[in-house]
Chain A
Amino acid sequence: MSAGPGQGQGPGQGQGKIYDLGYKRYVGSRRAVATRWKVIMRHQLATAWKGWWRLKMPLTSAVLATVTTGVVMYVLRGDVLRMMTGMHGEVVRFADGLIPLSIVWYEKIAFLISLLVGAQIVAGDVQSGAFTFYFARSLRPRDYVLGKLAALGLLLALVMLAGPLVLAGVRVGLSDPGEILASLPLVPRTLAIGALGTVIYAVVPLGFSAAVSNPRHAMALWAAYDVVIGSIVNQLGAHVSPAIAALDLPSALQSVALELFDVHGSPGLTRTHIPIGFALGSIAVQAAIAIAVVTWRVRRAQQTGVGGGA
């Protein structure tokens, strides 16, 4: 179709007049429906990047934690310190243990991001009516869920995956020439722990955000679950059964990390040690429940959003 009759008219007109910038029918190709989740992911990343507190501050903290731990590892593995202390074996062992121990700090930073970003997403969209906006277009619920999860996964991987991986790289780099090969398995182990932590802090808070319709309530619920209920089940687990303590996600992740790195009784750990089977099972079940809740909520929103309730 050619341009409308008002083509080229400008905003200098008076109120109530219609003007157009020159309309032409779009004849180009459109992005495949199956890839539109990437648009949602990009939008979510851009939204999270706005402001200082939501993402930039936690990321800065993660960088500081990584640099500090890296420096400590460097110092502990230095020849001078070994000679001075005369505790070669103990010091090296502690330096190796710093990677799983650093998970505790990365978890706290990841929790902060999950609280300020992840726990508000679905509830915020419910509250603002955004689902009507989304599903009036050719999006499927799985595109929405995938887009949001991918964005959260990327954000949290910057903390839970990138930080520990840098430390693993430092550890391998600090190895004596003879032990480089022996220290390489640290890298896949770190990857596994980082991926697990990313899944926990991307998926579970999103489940909380889908469980209620108010973003503030969702944040409060997630904080209470992670901090208060986590501490309670951890204490219960210490006295009753480690299986109960596995419900506490930070404890479950730390237990897996310590098991993979074969570190036991290290300083800085106050949580109950959980058998790896219980820990992995708990993480898998909680993540599955969270995805089920999100999917249910989004499917429901798709059918009720457009055109009002029915």
Chain B
Amino acid sequence: MTALVELDRLAKRYGAHTALAEVTARVDGHVIGLLGPNGAGKSTLLKCLLGLLPFDGDARVLGLDARTQGAEIRDRVGYMPEQEAFLSGMTAVEQCAYAGELSGLPRNEAMQRAHAALYYAGLEEKRYQPIDGYSTGMKQRVKLAQALVHDPELLFLDEPTNGLDPRSRDEMLDLITELPARRNCAIVLSTHLLPDVERVCDQAVIMHHGQVRFVGTIDELRSERGRDAELVVEVKADAARLADALGAVGAACQLYSPVGLYVSLPADATTRLIFHTAAASGLQVRTLAVRRESVEAAFLRVIGGAA
């Protein structure tokens, strides 16, 4: 089956600076978070994938060669830029119809789809007003609509919630979450807002220093530590005594309350060790759960360990 994006030793250099260092990855999924600090190579990767920059190695998007089939890729991919990209004096519906025509749609089809895309983005009757007078939230919606208008199979969204108030951000994330089902398209969400990724993405790609540090599901990202994963233990009373007892048998413990602690078990131990130790200490275990690492913590771990 064709992957959304396949990279094979993709490299891009600007003089002495290496923006992408022989990146190899295969990316699939419905909503993919593209994460990385500034300068990680996300923008360069997007440009290479859209066929806008020459590069070394191979990159395929929707099965098309990004080196030689850039135009075909851009017909099948929608791009929502982070920065403003509007033509002055135009209304939203004019701009979206123009975008559709530039992507090869016939004039009438482009106009119909412009209305549909703006309607989906929630602009309703405001779509007839000049974009120059729009609020930030409305402009973000127009950018989403103009990325959707030519019926792409894959959407690149660059910081789609930047500058939005909490309510608008929620609405934008709802629109993004619904897109794969409603428009049959996959999404690559480039952002530095990790809560957004946690909320809408099922896959993540983490870049750092021009390299891909992680590719996989969000659950894999959080549990990547495997045996190293922490447990959350709550006892009826005196968690400190349990911490001491577990420490004596080789577990690493960290108290977070008088009745709660995080526990990292030794490599060959199972959770039975906790119950045995608690019983031997006269303590009663009330809760035992795997401690879920936040996406933010996982992200910092991935780029921190590789930095």
Contacts and interface: CB of A to CB of B under 8 A. Distances in A.
Interface of A: 1, 4-6, 11, 15-16, 18-23, 25-26, 28, 30-33, 36, 39-40, 43, 47, 50, 124-125, 128-140, 302-303, 305-310
A28 B182 contact: no
Contacts of B98: 39, 43
Nearest to A147: B102
Given A137-B74, A306-B79, A40 B86 contact: no
A16 B175 CA distance: 9
A96 B106 CA distance: 48
A40 B53 CA distance: 23
A26 B109 contact: yes
Given A21-B120, A23-B182, A307-B158, A39 B101 contact: yes
Nearest to A136: B79
Contacts of A6: 178, 182
B247 interface: no
27 contacts: A18-B120, A18-B174, A18-B175, A20-B116, A23-B116, A30-B103, A31-B101, A33-B71, A36-B101, A43-B98, A50-B89, A129-B86, A130-B86, A131-B85, A132-B81, A132-B83, A132-B85, A133-B146, A137-B99, A137-B102, A138-B70, A138-B73, A306-B47, A306-B81, A307-B46, A307-B81, A308-B43
B109 A133 contact: no
Given A128-B84, A136-B50, A307 B44 contact: yes
Main SS class of interface, B: helix
A166 B103 CA distance: 39
B272 interface: no
Given A11-B124, A140-B71, A310-B14, A23 B83 contact: no
Contacts of B85: 128-133, 136, 305
Contacts of A43: 98
Interface in B47-85: 47, 50, 52-53, 70-75, 79, 81-85
A22 B116 contact: yes
B104 A31 contact: yes
B72 A138 contact: yes
A128 B84 CA distance: 7
The 10 tightest CB contacts between A and B, nearest first, are A30-B104, A4-B182, A307-B43, A138-B71, A136-B79, A1-B184, A132-B85, A133-B85, A26-B151, A138-B74
B222 interface: no
B171 interface: yes
A303 B47 contact: yes
B47 A133 contact: no
Contacts of B150: 26, 137
Contacts of A19: 119-120
B300 interface: no
A144 to B, nearest CB: 10
Contacts of A18: 120, 122, 174-175, 178, 182
A286 to B, nearest CB: 29
Given A20-B182, A307-B158, A31 B82 contact: no
A22 B115 CA distance: 11
B290 interface: no
B119 A130 contact: no
Given A11-B119, A16-B167, A128-B85, 11 more contacts: A15-B171, A31-B101, A31-B106, A39-B101, A130-B86, A132-B85, A133-B95, A138-B75, A306-B52, A307-B42, A310-B14
